[in-house]
């Protein structure tokens, strides 16, 4: 019955999507694969594809078109959670269809779960559904079907994918096994002199403009939640973490990147929903260039096919290594 309902909803989603217009990104100013870079990857927050909103599908579709115009191939595309609004099969299928239309432009695909992907669902069943979605995208990489968290050695760096250990409603629950593993993974990269890109849906308390960027509603809202201080303690034991998160839906601003001393925090705007703040353009994301001597973060308006003008705070960030 559930499958039938999903199939029916999927048809309605496609019909509704065909009736809305999609921005056509400028193909003359594409993302270019810099051959001097060790790795180049695109990061998106919160597509939140919904069976009730064709506009979100259209915004993600525009972003995919921009990826399709890339000169060369990205090493990775990573989605930082809330892939879907309701965690429904039809929503994941729609997302995979759009990503696969341009999957020749990225060598690997990763995603971490957001609260919307897991809330009000049986944990392990939803985990398997989420991993099936990632694997249905060409070159999609997952860990085991036991837990969301896993790592991969990439070109000159380490990717560490986090994910809640329970079906929480808004924050994440990070169990002690995940936290101990995270510490070891960061240490391993640190010993090799590599940056550790740690990907998680929710950010840390009092970083990236919180609580203002969660519209000022309480100190814990918008954050990881109960394990916030333990996670912060792990990052503070190292000096190589770039913590990349979504969840806040806040357009490019001075809040998106924060140098927290021993670690750096990048909070992504949403690629699918409406962005808060002064810079509320659709289909925003970042492109990250890893070099021997620095990491460059460049904010991109995928819907228009251009990088955000460097006069906008947070549009271009250079992190020396």
- HSE value, Cβ hemisphere, 13 Å, CA-based, for 3: 1
277 neighbors 250 (Cβ within 8 angstroms): yes
Q: Of all helices (H) and strands (E), which one includes residue 179?
A: helix 176-191
**Part of the chain binding Fe ion (CB under 5 A), chosen from 173-181, 244-252, 265-273, 279-287:** 244-252
Q: Of 65, 247, 276, 304, which lies in the binding site for Fe ion, with binding defined by CB under 5 A?
A: 247
**Part of the chain binding Fe ion (CB under 5 A), chosen from 5-13, 22-30, 103-111, 243-251:** 243-251
Name the residue among 42, 28, 111 with its Cα closest to residue 73.
Answer: 42
Residues in the chain: 321
CA distance 46 to 54: 15
Whole-number minimum distance, CB 39 to Fe ion, in Å?
26
Q: Taking CB positions, which residue lies at the least distance from Fe ion?
A: 247
CB-wise, 25 or 225, nearer to Fe ion?
225
CB-wise, 103 or 275, nearer to Fe ion?
275
CA distance 27 to 60: 17
Whole-number minimum distance, CB 256 to Fe ion, in Å?
16
CA distance 134 to 137: 6
Whole-number minimum distance, CB 189 to Fe ion, in Å?
27
CB-wise, 87 or 140, nearer to Fe ion?
87
Size of the site for Fe ion (CB under 5 A): 4
3-state secondary structure (DSSP) of residue 236: helix
CB-wise, 65 or 247, nearer to Fe ion?
247
CB-wise, 200 or 240, nearer to Fe ion?
200
Whole-number minimum distance, CB 114 to Fe ion, in Å?
4
Please name the residue that has the structure tokens 């403009």: 209
Q: Does 276 interact with Fe ion (rule: CB under 5 A)?
A: no
CA distance 222 to 248: 7
Site for Fe ion in 109-128 (CB under 5 A): 114-115
Task: In the chain, count H helices and then E strands.
Answer: 7, 13
Whole-number minimum distance, CB 308 to Fe ion, in Å?
22
Whole-number minimum distance, CB 320 to Fe ion, in Å?
31
CA distance 113 to 132: 13
**Part of the chain binding Fe ion (CB under 5 A), chosen from 66-74, 102-110, 246-254, 312-320:** 246-254
CB-wise, 151 or 223, nearer to Fe ion?
223
Whole-number minimum distance, CB 81 to Fe ion, in Å?
6
Cα 321 to Cα 196, 197, 200, 262: the distances in Å are 12, 13, 22, 12
x/- map, 136-165, Fe ion, by CB under 5 A:
------------------------------
How are the residues of the chain apportioned to helix, strand and coil, as percentages rounded to the nearest 5?
A: 30, 25, 45
Cα 158 to Cα 118, 154, 214, 267: the distances in Å are 25, 5, 29, 19
Whole-number minimum distance, CB 316 to Fe ion, in Å?
26
CB-wise, 114 or 269, nearer to Fe ion?
114
Site for Fe ion in 73-112 (CB under 5 A): 82
Enumerate binding residues for Fe ion (CB under 5 A).
82, 114-115, 247
């Amino acid at each position: 019955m559930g499958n039938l309902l999903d199939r029916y909803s999927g048809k309605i989603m496609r019909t509704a999507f065909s009736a809305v217009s999609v921005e056509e990104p400028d193909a003359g100013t594409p993302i270019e694969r810099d051959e001097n870079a060790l790795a180049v990857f695109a990061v998106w927050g919160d597509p939140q594809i919904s069976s009730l909103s064709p506009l979100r599908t259209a915004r993600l579709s525009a972003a995919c078109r921009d990826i399709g115009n890339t000169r060369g191939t990205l090493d990775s595309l990573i989605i930082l959670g809330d892939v879907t609004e309701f965690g429904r099969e039809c929503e994941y299928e729609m997302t995979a269809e759009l990503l696969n239309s341009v999957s020749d432009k990225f060598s690997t695909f990763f995603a971490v779960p957001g609260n919307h992907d897991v809330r009000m669902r049986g944990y392990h069943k939803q985990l398997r559904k989420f991993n099936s979605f990632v694997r249905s995208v060409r070159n999609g990489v997952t860990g085991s079907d036991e837990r969301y968290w896993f790592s991969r050695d990439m070109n000159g760096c380490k990717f560490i994918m986090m994910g809640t250990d329970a079906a929480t409603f808004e924050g994440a629950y990070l169990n002690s096994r995940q936290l101990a593993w995270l510490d070891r993974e960061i240490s391993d990269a640190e010993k090799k002199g590599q940056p550790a890109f740690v990907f998680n849906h929710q950010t840390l308390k009092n970083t990236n403009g919180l609580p203002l960027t969660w519209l000022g509603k309480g100190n814990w809202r918008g954050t990881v939640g109960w394990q916030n201080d333990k996670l912060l303690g792990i990052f503070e034991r190292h000096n190589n973490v770039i913590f990349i998160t979504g969840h806040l839906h806040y357009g490019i601003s001075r809040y998106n990147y924060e140098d927290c001393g021993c670690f750096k925090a990048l909070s992504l705007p949403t690629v699918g929903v409406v962005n808060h703040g002064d810079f509320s353009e659709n289909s925003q994301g970042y492109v990250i260039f890893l070099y021997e001597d620095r990491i460059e973060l460049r904010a991109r308006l995928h819907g228009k096919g251009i990088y955000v003008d460097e006069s906008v705070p947070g549009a271009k960030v250079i992190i020396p290594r």
